[in-house]
Amino acid sequence: MKATETKLKGCFFIEPNVLKDTRGYFFECFNQNKFNELIGKDIDFVQDNESFSSKGVLRGLHFQTGDYAQAKLVRVIKGKVLDVVVDMRKNSPTFGEHFSIELSEDNKKQLFVPRGFAHGFIVLSDTAIFSYKCDNFYNKASEQGLRYDDPSLGIDWRLPSNEFIISEKDLVLPTLSNIEL
39 falls within a domain: no
Active site members: 62, 132
99 falls within a domain: yes
16 falls within a domain: no
Q: How confident is the model over 4-41, as pLDDT tens digits?
A: 999 999 999 999 999 999 999 999 999 999 999 999 99
40 falls within a domain: no
**How far apart, in whole angstroms, are the C-alpha atoms of residue 163 and residue 38?**
37
Q: Which domain holds residue 92?
A: 45-178
5 falls within a domain: no
Buried b or exposed e, range 18-52, using 16+ CB within 10 angstroms = eeeeeeeeeeeeeeeeebeebbeeebebeeeeeee
Res. 181: pLDDT tops 80: no
20 falls within a domain: no
The predicted structure's pLDDT at residue 180: 82
**How far apart, in whole angstroms, are the C-alpha atoms of residue 54 and residue 46?**
27
CATH, residue 71: 2.60.120.10
Res. 151: pLDDT tops 80: yes
How many folded domains does the chain comprise? Answer: 1
58 and 120 Cβ atoms separated by less than 8 Å: yes
What distance lies between CA 66 and its chain's CA centroid? 19
Q: How confident is the model over 40-96, as pLDDT tens digits?
A: 999 999 999 999 999 999 999 999 999 999 999 999 999 999 999 999 999 999 999
81 falls within a domain: yes
Average pLDDT (95-111) is 97
17 falls within a domain: no
